Structure 1
């Protein structure tokens, strides 16, 4: 069974958050997409090959697909957890690689990086879903 009541809070909060984030990026203008892309390029240089418009569209579509998968009970928990873990890992990597987001130790968030540091919670949720054991 892909759905269990004890997983509902994890899938609901992360799925709704990510789906809303993707939906809000649907109307992203070129300047906004370019800013997000520049941050992402710090961690994944290959993303520079995309135009800002393409990057914004792909990001919005990816977030909406992941959010929908997390909210859909028929999607297996391990698959949803794997998707969330991969996505959140990329977000945390962007946070760690973007100048000015961390204090001098390279881990603790600076004032500017506090908003991005919350992605560690998404990583924790993804890992919890991925490592959850099925009841027999």
Structure 2
């Protein structure tokens, strides 16, 4: 499998960032895990049923899976892009369903929402990985 420099940039940088984020969440204290769980519950009410520690561990491990898929070159770009897209979709769902994160128009980020709104870049990277992979398959068939 050829691995281009553009693929390396699209995968390694966000992958390392997400892996580090997951590593940082492995030993969350109960209060911090509870705050993250509360934010996630705006978009996904079912997470309220978990205890905060379980939620924190699940979040950390999911970030390990997504980050690992991105940095491991044996994972096809399209698969890594789909994993990253699902992850970004969850973050953006939380952003749009939390009133405090957007201005009155429901789109532009408020001061509190800027940190999460930047995750739209993650969605763009995911889309690039998915579409880039599709383009290579079309060229091979010709």
Q: Report what 1:68 is aligned to.
A: 68
CA deviations over 1:2-55 (Å, ceiling 9, x no partner) = 633221111011101111110110110110011000110100111111111100
Q: In 2, distance between residues paired with 1:84 and 1:27?
A: 23
Q: In 2, distance between residues paired with 1:128 and 1:65?
A: 19
Q: Report what 1:78 is aligned to.
A: 78
Q: Which has the higher relative contact order, 1 or 2, with Cα contacts under 8 A spaced 6 or more apart?
A: 1
Q: In 2, distance between residues paired with 1:101 and 1:45?
A: 17
Alignment of 1:1-136 (within 5 A): 1=1, 3-132=3-132, 133-134=135-136, 135-136=139-140
Q: In 2, distance between residues paired with 1:14 and 1:98?
A: 24
Any stretches of 5+ residues in structure 1 without a counterpart?
none
**2:99–2:106: 8 Å Cα contact kept in structure 1?**
no
**1:2–1:74: 8 Å Cα contact kept in structure 2?**
no
**1:2–1:75: 8 Å Cα contact kept in structure 2?**
no
What is the SS of the residue equivalent to 1:100? helix
CA RMSD of aligned residues (A): 1.1
Q: In 1, distance between residues paired with 2:2 and 2:117?
A: 30
Question: Normalized against structure 1, the TM-score is what?
Answer: 0.96
Q: In 2, distance between residues paired with 1:2 and 1:78?
A: 14
**Alignment size in residue pairs:** 136
Any stretches of 5+ residues in structure 2 without a counterpart?
none
CA deviations over 1:41-94 (Å, ceiling 9, x no partner) = 100111111111100000001101210110010101010000000110110010
Greater per-residue helix proportion: 2
